[in-house]
């Protein structure tokens, strides 16, 4: 087996050694980026990249403002692809399901449901970190299903959410996140909610399709 070289590979091996020899239990907080960089003899940018790779592999979990933690349960690399749907499968499923939910949402949504959508819009507008925006994005999309008041559609929406709770998806979202893209997504979200408020099922469905195609292109480079 060829050993990977370069500062990031060196930093990653150091991190794996720290995790393996440091007596950390699942869920324990790791030392700070500054401390890890100093002990590895690399820059904080390099250690941050190495930590991101471990997060993508499911070894650690990172939270803005809180730090890096050893994952509650390690995900064996060999089983990752078999355990989770691919991002392409997720996006195909979302494009099939989410636009078609919206006519039911338009018909069934109460004012309380629409108020919840606006709460999620405000949260997304205020979010600056990828993880924070992803949380509000997920809540907003699920609010469309909740507003159908249909248990089957709500369960399908939850299944789509669960399918995205995986290292590969999280890594893609972090790597493609930017302030400009966040603003574009926010504008697309507002168009969907506006169509729901106008009780226009066709406009709501099309606004969702436009948004999800944009997400797919951003994540997968797929213009189909």
Cα radius of gyration rounded to whole Å, the chain: 20
Task: Provide the CATH topology of domain 7-70.
Answer: Arc Repressor Mutant, subunit A (1.10.10)
pLDDT digits (tens, 9 = 90+) for 160-213: 988 887 767 777 788 889 999 999 999 999 999 999 999 999 999 999 999 999
Instruction: Average the pLDDT over 88-109 and give the result.
Output: 96
pLDDT digits (tens, 9 = 90+) for 132-174: 899 999 999 999 999 999 999 999 998 998 888 776 777 778 8
Instruction: Average the pLDDT over 95-110 and give the result.
Output: 98
| Helix residue ranges, H only, the chain | 7-21, 33-40, 44-56, 77-83, 87-108, 111-126, 130-146, 151-163, 167-176, 179-197, 201-220
User: Which range, 3-17, 72-86, 170-184, is most confident?
Assistant: 170-184
Contacts made by residues 113-121, CB under 8 angstroms, sequence distance 24+:
113/143, 113/146, 113/147, 114/147, 114/193, 114/196, 114/197, 116/143, 116/146, 116/147, 117/143, 117/144, 117/147, 117/193, 117/196, 118/193, 120/189, 121/186, 121/189, 121/190, 121/193
Would you state the pLDDT for residue 6? Answer: 74
Listed by start position, the domains of the chain span 7-70, 84-220
What's the CATH number for 84-220?
A: 1.20.120.530
Domains 7-70 and 84-220 share a fold: no
pTM exceeding 0.75: no
Would you state the pLDDT for residue 203? Answer: 98
Could you give the CA distance from residue 154 to residue 46 in angstroms, rounded to a whole number? 42
Would you state the pLDDT for residue 167? Answer: 66
Would you state the pLDDT for residue 140? Answer: 96
């Amino acid at each position: 087996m060829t050993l990977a070289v370069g500062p990031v590979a060196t930093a990653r091996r150091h991190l794996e050694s720290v995790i393996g020899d440091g007596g950390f239990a699942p869920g324990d907080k790791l030392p700070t980026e500054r401390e890890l960089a100093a002990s590895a003899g690399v820059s904080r940018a390099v250690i941050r990249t190495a930590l991101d790779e471990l997060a993508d592999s499911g070894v650690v979990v990172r939270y803005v403002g809180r730090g890096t933690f050893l994952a509650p349960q390690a995900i064996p690399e060999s089983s990752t692809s078999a355990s989770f749907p691919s991002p392409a499968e997720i996006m195909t499923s979302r494009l099939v399901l989410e636009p078609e939910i919206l006519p039911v949402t338009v018909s069934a949504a109460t004012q309380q449901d629409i108020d919840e959508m606006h709460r999620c819009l405000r949260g997304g507008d205020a979010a600056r970190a990828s993880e924070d925006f992803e949380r509000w994005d997920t809540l907003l999309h699920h609010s469309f299903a909740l507003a159908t008041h249909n248990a089957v559609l709500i369960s399908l929406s939850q299944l789509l959410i669960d399918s995205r709770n995986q290292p590969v998806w999280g890594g893609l979202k972090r790597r493609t996140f930017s302030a400009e893209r966040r603003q574009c997504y926010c504008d697309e979200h507002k168009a969907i909610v506006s169509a729901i408020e106008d009780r226009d099922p066709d406009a709501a469905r099309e606004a969702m399709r436009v948004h999800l195609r944009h997400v797919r292109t951003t994540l997968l480079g797929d213009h189909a």
